[in-house]
Structures are given as structure tokens and as C-alpha cells.
Structure 1
């Protein structure tokens, strides 16, 4: 296992795949995502991030519809398909999925690698009508030890909460992968960049972590999506993207995970070290 902050680690190519899932067409979405993952792997990517609910689509109309499309993780057909692909290509994949666990449904994401399934994250902060279909995540904010480094996962609206990234940074996360389905914010000015871009750039800067956001595009059952997928460096500056607002696109960046962590801003300041935990409630 690679140790965190090991300067001998090779550079890592990361890709975020922005595409348009077809609602309910699980086999077609798996096939399309697999083609795009293969293309990224051919270009040298070793970590590939897919959007939120990448195999099912997003806009469920009833709990029964959501239940009919949800699958167990890691034993469902989508988990197995992505797992086989990761093993074949010798890469890591993070993908959003509707998870069925017993009688409960979760808006979840899995991470799988060359040696098999690694873990699951369940979305902690549910957006709008997700509350009708899913339970709030109950796994906390795990950081997964992988052959690439320490990987965290959050999903879409989780990014509106600074605590999401701070929890993972304090647990040693070096990169946080964000499967997402960003939608326009209420009262968003015409042509304005996605609010999420600002929030995630700030989170990367204030925690010294890489963040890789894979959004979707298109309009599903009347709901438009923002696109603008983004890969952000530890200082908060974009390394790739924002991607297009309205067309499928894969963005990629080569990063050095040894750069992650609470680096000094100047001779006096380091963001994580300067935290005043004696004053925080």
C-alpha cells in the first residue's frame, strides 16, 4: 500500500467523465460509461470518476420507480460490471449508483479497483426530492486507502457543507471524488458559472486537497443539469475544466498526490494548523 505523502509516488492521471445518462436504461448507461472509461484509460488515466446515479438517471417520480432501479452494492449488476472493468484496465473507478440495502435505498457511490471492490459512500445531505426516495447516508465520511493514495468521496449537495471536506482532510484524504448532478440554483443569474465550482474550489484551497467533480449534462423529465465538471488542485485553482454546460466531455489532469496536505501559505500560516479549535463550538 502506498503511504500518504510519499514523494516517490508517480504522478496520477485523473479523469472526470461528463455524459448524459438515459433515465432507466441501465444496460445502455453501463455500456456508454464503459466505452468512455476505456477511452480515458487508453489515455493513461488511473482514476476515473462518473456522475451521480450514473447507471439509472436522476429524476425518479415515485419511490417504487426508485426501488425498481436500485441495486445492492457490491453484488448488483452495475457494481459487478464496473468492477470487472476496473480489474481488466487496472484502474480505479468511482461511480454514483442507487443502492438498495435491505429495505432502504441510498444515493450512493462505490469505489472499485484492480483488486476488486473497495468501499461505498452514502450521500449524507439529500437534495430536494431525493428525500422522498432515499435515506440519509449513515456511513459518515470514510477515506479509502488505495494503491493510488487516500481517496474520499462526496456526492453533489454534500459539497455545500464545509464539514464534508474538513472531515475527510483531517482523516488524511488526498483527493476527494465528487459524482454529481448539479442543477441551476434558485435565482441563478443567466450565464453565471455553477455555484458548485466556487464552493469546491474554496474547499480544495481551505483543506489542501485535490477535488475531482464529474457532473452530467442534458435535461431529464424537465430538469436541466449544469455540466461544468471540474478538477481542482490543492490551492483551489482549476487543473482541468470547467467542462461544457451542455455536451458530453471527458476532462483529465495529471496530479501529484504528494502535494496534498496542510502546506504552508507563508512563514506564519498553514490553514489546517491555524484552526482555532479552542474557540469552535
Structure 2
């Protein structure tokens, strides 16, 4: 008898573009929860929030950053996101200022209906982040969730193609990107943001879905560009880009299985299979073990 094909339900995902206020953690988390509830009411099951969305981004000093940082999972921000994830049956990926002993990390917390799924610590620090944060020390983990295998990068991580490739090689189907994109010198205002181009190329080159949640507003003189987007596994946007200056929720319906089933570009080429492992190391020298891809 022929094998029975499994009927797969589409997954509804959301990118939340919001404007955190520096130092206003309680207000920021409450605002994020309200937007999460709004996205869930529209059917979202997997929701991504911006980088450092609980504290804001532009710290005046390490002392200020340390005073705003929280432990994971026992800090109030993570507890609030855990509560709404349990209550509404969601997976949430949220940027957070993490404290681990004396060290601070620019992190993302991944929570689900059954509790903490994991955390990611930003590997590639941007600008004066290095004055406050230690570089991430967890590598590029991939997490099993009720809605698929999820990788996570934060902002500047996306400028390094190795990040997406290592996630895909470990079996990631979706890469979630909490981010705080800033203006790039030389940007043509008539063109899409460079960040959009980079994540679209990464999605295409690795056959993964990418959900980017950026912030908006100007904080202590630093503007942020918005333009959050959700990218399909072929590299084309399926929602967004969002506006450059307003809070917004992007919603998209995706079939996660397409990240695996539709990797063949033609009768000859498949992006993972065609890698020249005789020329470069299977896992790019990372020491990681490949997943099922």
C-alpha cells in the first residue's frame, strides 16, 4: 500500500514591532504582553519580539545596564512572558537584558506553553554593546518546540552567514531574529533596508523561514528603522516590511515543512546537499553536530 501522506496544518507566526522606552521595564513588558495578546487573537502561535525589548537599548553606563538586567528564568520579564505563553498556548521569542552573576548578556528567551524552552546570547556585539555585555557563549543552539525547530539570532549576528548556516545544519526550520536595526551609511532611501536584503538572502541560501522583529523610535539620540518582516524559505517576504516609525504586528501563515520539502531548486540542485564538504568542514569548524536536515 502507498504511504499515507500526513496532512499538516499551517503555522501562524507574528513579528511584533514596538517602541520600548529606556529603563521603563514594567511598562515595556506590559506593552509587549498586550501586543502578544493582540497577535494571539489574530491566530498567532509563534511570536517574536524585538531585541532588549524589556529595558530599551541605549544604556548610559554599565551601572544602568546592570540595574535593569534580570536573571533567566526567574526575572519578572521572563515570568510575564511565561505566563502569557502558558495561558494562550504560545511560543514566544523575546529580547532581554540578561544578568548571570557579574556578567551581562544581550539575550533572547524562548518560552512555550510548558515553560522555558531555552535562551540565546548574542554572539556578535555591535558598537558600544561591548561596554556592557559579554559576547554570547552558548553558540547557535536550535530548540525543539511544539511548532518546529527554532534557531535564534540577534541583530548584528545576521551579518555573518555562518550563523544561519550553522542553524540550518542543526535542523532549524525557522530562525527568529529579535533586532534593533539602526540606519546603515549609504542606504538609498528608495531601496529596502540592507537588513531586509541580508535576511532575505540568508533565508534563500539556507531554506529556512526567518521572522525579524525590530523596534521603532529614537532613544537618547539613536534612531531605529523599523521595517520588521517575515521571510519565507525561498527568500521572499511573506509579511512586511513594516513601517519605519510605527508599532505594528505582522502576521503570516507558513507551512514549516516547506523548509525541508521544497529545498530542491531543480532536478539537480539542493542547497544543503550541494555543499562541498571536501573543500570546507561539515560544520564550519564549529565542533557542533549536524542535525536532521
Structure 2 length-normalised TM:
0.92
Distance in 1 between the 2:147 and 2:264 partners?
Answer: 24
Partner of residue 48, structure 2: 49
Moved more, 119-128 or 181-190: 181-190
Partner of residue 168, structure 1: 167
- Per the TM alignment, residue 7 of structure 1 is displaced from its structure 2 partner at its CA by 4.7
Partner of residue 268, structure 2: 268
- Per the TM alignment, residue 32 of structure 1 is displaced from its structure 2 partner at its CA by 0.6
Total equivalences in the alignment: 276
Partner SS for 2:151: strand
- Per the TM alignment, residue 191 of structure 1 is displaced from its structure 2 partner at its CA by 4.3
Partner of residue 112, structure 1: 111
Partner of residue 230, structure 1: 229
Partner of residue 66, structure 1: 65
Distance in 1 between the 2:135 and 2:188 partners?
Answer: 30
Distance in 2 between the 1:8 and 1:269 partners?
Answer: 26
Distance in 2 between the 1:111 and 1:100 partners?
Answer: 16
- Per the TM alignment, residue 189 of structure 1 is displaced from its structure 2 partner at its CA by 3.0
Does 2:196 match 1:216? no
- Per the TM alignment, residue 186 of structure 1 is displaced from its structure 2 partner at its CA by 2.2
Partner of residue 179, structure 1: 178
- Per the TM alignment, residue 18 of structure 1 is displaced from its structure 2 partner at its CA by 0.2
**1:232-280: CA deviation from partner (whole Å, max 9, x where unpaired):** 0000000000000111110010000010137110111111111112123
Partner of residue 15, structure 2: 16
Answer yes or no: is the 8 Å Cα contact 1:7–1:258 preserved in 2.
Answer: no
Distance in 2 between the 1:30 and 1:216 partners?
Answer: 14
- Per the TM alignment, residue 193 of structure 1 is displaced from its structure 2 partner at its CA by 2.2
Distance in 2 between the 1:207 and 1:156 partners?
Answer: 18
Answer yes or no: is the 8 Å Cα contact 1:241–1:251 preserved in 2.
Answer: yes
Structure 2, unmatched stretches of 5+, are 282-293
Partner of residue 194, structure 2: 195
- Per the TM alignment, residue 9 of structure 1 is displaced from its structure 2 partner at its CA by 3.4
Distance in 2 between the 1:54 and 1:160 partners?
Answer: 21
Partner of residue 286, structure 2: none
Give the root-mean-square deviation of aligned CA atoms.
Answer: 1.2
**1:119-156: CA deviation from partner (whole Å, max 9, x where unpaired):** 00000000001011000000010000111110111100
Partner of residue 151, structure 1: 150
Partner of residue 125, structure 1: 124
Distance in 2 between the 1:109 and 1:280 partners?
Answer: 30
- Per the TM alignment, residue 224 of structure 1 is displaced from its structure 2 partner at its CA by 0.5
Partner SS for 1:225: strand
Answer yes or no: is the 8 Å Cα contact 1:153–1:177 preserved in 2.
Answer: yes
Runs of 4+ in 1 over 6 A off after TM superposition: none
Partner SS for 1:167: helix
Partner SS for 1:32: helix
Structure 1, unmatched stretches of 5+, are 1-5
Structure 1 length-normalised TM:
0.96
